[in-house]
């Protein structure tokens, strides 16, 4: 809780309004202040900060299992019952096409890498999500949670969580869809401290990370906080309080809304918010996706290292063409706007975007004009992060059913992410990292074509 209250007329024997008491975390005469909490987190995260590179990852997870054929491997040379039902569109990479529903992404394919040989073999929603997001590690910890474990759960400079989840409801309160990633995005055996922060739980952000008092009353509260912190320093004087002014300022920045602003689209230029909008694609989940990607950009720009963007609706057993008109076009516009926005802010090389889902779809079109679950080829595309872009990695077979060359595994995807974000040799020297995690990360190798 990071709130300050005013209001209420009851006074104690010293004339202090009860509701004017500063409440920041467990702030009190004998408890932690927000200032000391931030300082403790910074001290605890210092080793983690030395491991972490100046990179960020955004995973756009197309939950339900996005079709690999109609997205990035249309295979128009295949028999009619296998090839893309939405046709194809030429990209900026000579000789390369992608699904016909992605004209905006096609114009910036030179900034992307399309992987056509990604597989893990499972056609189960739950297991597929777990494999893709965890790389199959025995701790069942997601990539974001592993990053949070290595970097620390909180950014010591901003107080923001290092790992966040963005659902439709997180970007726009009128949407009520839940987390379509589920437990696969969690920390598993690493422990709940490394689970993602979910801004869709509005009370956590709007009530616990925002000042709840008139600004003209701030000076009194600032004085009160200073008095309480002064008393705490007298009681608990130690070298750990060196530089406390820095952390007091950070505490006020967090309480006054600096941290919460990163989760608030109202703080953005309305023209940019409109530019990101996917409302014209006429679906609640699709409507929210553009604003989810804008929120993801705000978070990484503010210092969040890992963001999972959860987009549901991709379990297309029937009516795939109609469904792609909504979900495909939403992804096309949201991703293109996101990449353009990153470039305008000089963030293209810092931020790696990963587009994937729990599996692909069956190569043969079913009797309901849809495709069923298929784990032998899965959807995967990447952009940015300072990696080698403008290429197709791997190839599917003639019927777009299995990798024909250069297979890419979930361990390869995990290795790409970890080696991008973390100094792996330095990590091996830390004694407090679980052995299982050290061994797993040590075995991971980046997708070779990207580095």
> Could you give all domains of the chain from N- to C-terminal order, each with its CATH number?
2-31+212-255 (no CATH), 55-207+258-450 (3.40.720.10)
pLDDT at 263: 83
Distance (Å, rounded) from C-alpha 31 to C-alpha 298? 33
Strand, helix or coil for residue 354: strand
The whole-number average pLDDT for the span 207-224 is: 46
pLDDT at 306: 98
Could you tell me which residues come within 8 angstroms of residue 346 by beta carbon, excluding any fewer than 6 positions away?
A: none
Q: Which of 163, 121, 50, 68 is nearest to 381 (CA)?
A: 68
Distances, alpha carbon 246 to alpha carbons 22, 42, 226, 243, 363, in Å: 19, 11, 13, 6, 58
| Residue 309 main-chain phi, psi, to 5 deg | -100, 120
Distance (Å, rounded) from C-alpha 136 to C-alpha 273? 37
Q: Which of 320, 312, 314 is nearest to 66 (CA)?
A: 314
Average pLDDT, the chain: 81
Per-position DSSP letters for 301-349, written without gaps between them: HHT--EEEEEE-----SS-HHHHHHHHHHHHHHHHHHHHHHHHHTT-TT
pLDDT at 14: 38
Q: Which of 52-66, 176-190, 231-245, 359-373 has the lowest mean pLDDT?
A: 231-245
Distances, alpha carbon 266 to alpha carbons 158, 190, 216, 269, 271, in Å: 20, 35, 22, 8, 11
Task: Look at residue 132 and tell me whether its pLDDT is greater than 50.
Answer: yes
Distance (Å, rounded) from C-alpha 116 to C-alpha 348? 23
Cβ contact 84:69 at 8 Å: yes
Distance (Å, rounded) from C-alpha 97 to C-alpha 225? 60
Rounded percentage of the chain residues whose pLDDT exceeds 70: 72
Q: Note the pTM of the prediction, 2 decimals.
A: 0.81
Distance (Å, rounded) from C-alpha 415 to C-alpha 131? 13
Q: Which of 334, 333, 293 is nearest to 310 (CA)?
A: 293
Distance (Å, rounded) from C-alpha 305 to C-alpha 163? 6
């Amino acid at each position: 809780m990071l709130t300050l209250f005013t209001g209420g007329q009851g006074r104690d024997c010293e004339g202090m309004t009860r509701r004017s008491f500063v409440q920041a975390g467990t702030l009190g005469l004998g408890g932690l202040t927000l200032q000391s909490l931030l300082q403790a987190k910074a001290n605890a995260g210092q080793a983690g900060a030395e491991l972490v590179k100046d990179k960020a990852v955004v995973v756009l997870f197309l939950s339900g299992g996005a079709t690999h054929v109609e997205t990035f491997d249309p295979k128009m040379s295949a028999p009619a019952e296998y090839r893309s039902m939405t046709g194809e569109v030429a990209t900026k990479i000579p000789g390369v096409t992608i699904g016909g529903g992605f004209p905006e992404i096609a114009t910036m394919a030179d900034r992307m890498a399309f992987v056509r040989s990604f597989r893990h073999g499972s056609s189960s929603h739950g297991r597929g999500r777990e494999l893709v997001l965890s790389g199959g590690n025995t701790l069942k910890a997601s990539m974001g949670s592993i990053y949070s474990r290595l970097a620390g759960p909180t950014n010591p400079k901003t107080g923001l969580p290092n790992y966040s989840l963005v659902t439709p409801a997180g970007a726009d309160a009128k949407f009520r869809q839940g987390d379509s990633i589920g437990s696969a995005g969690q920390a598993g055996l690493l422990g709940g401290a490394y689970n993602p922060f979910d801004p869709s739980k509005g009370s956590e952000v709007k009530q616990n990370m925002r000042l709840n008092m008139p600004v003209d009353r701030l000076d009194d509260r600032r004085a009160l906080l200073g008095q309480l912190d002064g008393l705490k320093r007298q009681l608990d004087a130690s070298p750990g309080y060196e530089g406390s002014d820095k952390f007091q300022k950070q505490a006020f920045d967090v309480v006054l809304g600096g941290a919460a602003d990163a989760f608030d689209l109202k703080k953005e230029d309305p023209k940019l918010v409109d530019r990101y909008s996917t409302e014209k694609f006429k679906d609640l989940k699709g409507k929210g996706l553009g604003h989810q990607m804008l929120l993801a950009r705000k978070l990484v720009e503010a210092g969040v290292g890992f963001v999972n963007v959860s987009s549901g609706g991709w379990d297309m057993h029937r009516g795939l063409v109609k469904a792609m008109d909504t979900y495909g076009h939403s992804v096309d516009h949201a991703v293109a706007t996101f990449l353009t926005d990153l470039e305008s802010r000089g963030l293209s090389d810092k931020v790696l975007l990963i587009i994937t889902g729990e599996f692909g779809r069956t190569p043969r079109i079913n009797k309901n004009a849809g495709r069923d679950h298929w784990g032998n080829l899965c959807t995967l595309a990447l952009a940015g992060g300072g990696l080698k872009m403008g290429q197709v990695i791997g190839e599917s077979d003639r019927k777009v059913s299995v990798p024909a060359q250069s297979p890419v595994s979930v361990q390869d995807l995990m290795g790409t992410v970890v080696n991008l974000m973390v100094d792996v040799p330095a990590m091996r020297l830390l004694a407090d990292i679980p052995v299982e995690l050290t061994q797993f990360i040590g075995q991971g190798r980046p997708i070779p074509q990207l580095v």
